[in-house]
Structure 1
Amino acid sequence: GLYHENIILLLDSFETTHEFCVVTEFAQGDLFEILEDDRNLPEEEVRKISQQLVHALYYLHSRRIIHRDMKPQNILISSNGMVKLCDFGFARSMSTNTIVLTSIKGTPLYMAPELVQELPYNHTVDLWSLGVIIYELYVGQPPFYTNSIYTLIHLIVKDPVKFPDMSPDFKSFLQGLLNKTPSERLTWPDLLKHPFVKETEQEKKERK
């Protein structure tokens, strides 16, 4: 099982004639609701959410699990600001000898360039999606946004990301995640040490 404070706890699962049901711990609302209500969040709030999502993904990736469907609807947030990553419907294990996977799953808006092109991919697709979500929390919409799937794929693959005003650390964090070349993307262990999400001693104590 997956036991991490920033990953939704799976309590039970059962099948009916028509459905597969999953019982999880209760979490209040998702980031999609926050985006609909507030449109965007201040940088400090985005930083706190980013820290928790980075810890959740590090936990998954260190167990060789790729989420593959990171999007605001799959990130729950409680009234005290605790973030929980959920919905592992598309999650896929990486075996030690086949790190590269090639099936396309998930939501195009948050997909990495290599995924929308149906190229081989690895855990860094989750890190691109994390970058898109964090960008959207701050700006109010994803870096590439259009109703046409064809145009969206073209933008994700070809268009440079436009960065609004933000702190240098925040910009460097997003630039690292939203790198179109997977091998150059910000990843472990450097991601944990990045100044935008690196915890202060006080934050470490609070988390414990």
Structure 2
Amino acid sequence: MAAAAAVASNCVLELKTDFFETSQLRVEKVLSTGGSSEVVLASSIQDLSRKRVVKKISLKEENLQDRELSAKEAKALFHREIEILRTLDHPNIIGGVNGVICPDYMALSMDFCPNGTLVTHLKKMTNGLIDRYFDGLVSGVCYIHSLRIVHGDIKLQNIFVNAKNKAVLADFGFSFKMPENISYVKTSGATMAYLSPEVLIKRSKVDPFKCDSYAVGVVLRCLVLKRRPGYCPDYLQEVRESPHICAMFRYFLEALLHRKPSRRATMAHVQTTLDEFIPEAYTEELSQNCRPQEEFNSTASPPRKKIRSQESAQSLPNIKQ
């Protein structure tokens, strides 16, 4: 392999041959396709139990034209994604990432999560599973935000479930790192159904971290209602009109789906609150369908009280570790 490859910057290899042939990988099946990319499951020819997920991004001229990118621009975006992923180390962020540029495509190789994405589990959601997956997603997003990294495309399809039944955030193709002295950008977000209201109305500048928060709220809405998002001008109103949502989830839906970014919770606030939540303390606020802005900016923690129920453990499927 060393003879066929030249090391490029940011830990990306450039190959003159096919990545799968050089790495002795066999494609088992196509997991998903979209636009100019394809995600496949591959296994080692020498050991079929060693599996990898590989995202192939075409460098063919017609595909680059569809994306309105030059080959140089596409490679720069690929380098940025690999560079970001290689700096991350968290149990709820996809790991084992390697990047390769071949003559006709780029390949991003990563760990295999055997239990699919949250789309696979949507119809089987219980409060215990929602609690588990939401907690993991919040932990992962809070981690990247602490490093000033914006994901930019949080959605059900980009959240995998690994062998330990943990939510794992992947696909950082739209991610970027915000400079320390910058708070707003011109645009943020990729998938229409998860875009925050300020992006949809094309405000000149948005807070991309609050856009990520809104997308996490849409994911929680999907888990609670057990259905994918459609076009909805006001997810928060949809939630308020839906009965039988437990107090904790309703609290976080209210906090994350607020149409005004200034009233929307940060991921740091959500993580702080998750394990210390007392439903009774917020009943009056929720009944008024409004949230005080200053609460989300406060560093004070609610009274400590774990609310993890026995259901959270009992409802998990029996997956071998």
TM-score range, shorter chain: 0.7 to 0.9
Instruction: Identify the residue that residue 113 of structure 2 maps to in structure 1.
Output: 27
Q: 1:5 aligns with which of 72, 77, 91?
A: 91
Amino acid at match of 2:160: L
* Alignment counterpart, residue 121 of structure 1, candidates 206, 209, 212: 206
Tell me, what secondary structure is at the counterpart of 1:70? coil
Under a length normalisation based on structure 1, what TM-score does the superposition of the two structures give? 0.82
Kept in 2: contact 1:127–1:187 (CA 8 A): yes
Once the 2 structures are TM-superposed, how far is the Cα of residue 79 of structure 1 from its aligned partner?
Answer: 4.0
- Is residue 47–residue 197 contact of structure 1 (8 Å, CA) maintained in 2? no
2:249 maps to what in 1?
170
Runs of 4+ off more than 3 Å: 195-202
The one-letter code matched in structure 1 to 2:230 is Y
Query: What amino acid maps onto 2:239 in structure 1?
Result: K
TM-score (norm 2): 0.55
Structure exhibiting the larger radius of gyration computed from Cα positions: 2
Q: Any stretches of 5+ residues in structure 2 without a counterpart?
A: 1-86, 278-304, 309-321
Pairing 1:194–2:273 present? yes
> Given residue 133 of structure 1, which amino acid in structure 2 is its aligned partner?
V
1:184 aligns with 2:263: yes
Q: Indicate if the aligned counterparts of 1:41 and 1:138 stay in contact, CA closer than 8 A.
A: yes
Compare relative contact order (CA 8 Å, sep 6+) and give the higher one, 1 or 2: 1
Q: 2:248 is matched by which residue type in structure 1?
A: D
Residue type of the alignment partner of 2:213: L
Q: Pick the structure with more strand per residue.
A: 2
CA RMSD after TM alignment: 2.5
Report the counterpart of residue 16 of structure 2 in structure 1.
none
Asked whether the 8 Å contact 1:40–1:139 carries over to 2, the reply is: no
In the alignment, structure 1 segments of 5+ residues that lack a partner are 147-151, 203-208
Q: Any residues of structure 2 matched to 1:37-52 within 5 Å, and which?
A: 39-52=123-136
- CA shift for structure 1 position 139: 0.5
Offset from partner CA, 1:33-67 (integer Å, 9 cap, x none): 222xxx25111210111111111011100000110
Change (3 A) 1:62 1:74: same
Report the identity percentage. 24
After TM superposition, list the pairs within 5 Å mapping 1:58-207 onto structure 2. Answer: 58-119=142-203, 120-122=205-207, 123-142=209-228, 145-146=230-231, 152=232, 155-156=233-234, 160-163=237-240, 164=242, 165-195=244-274, 200=306
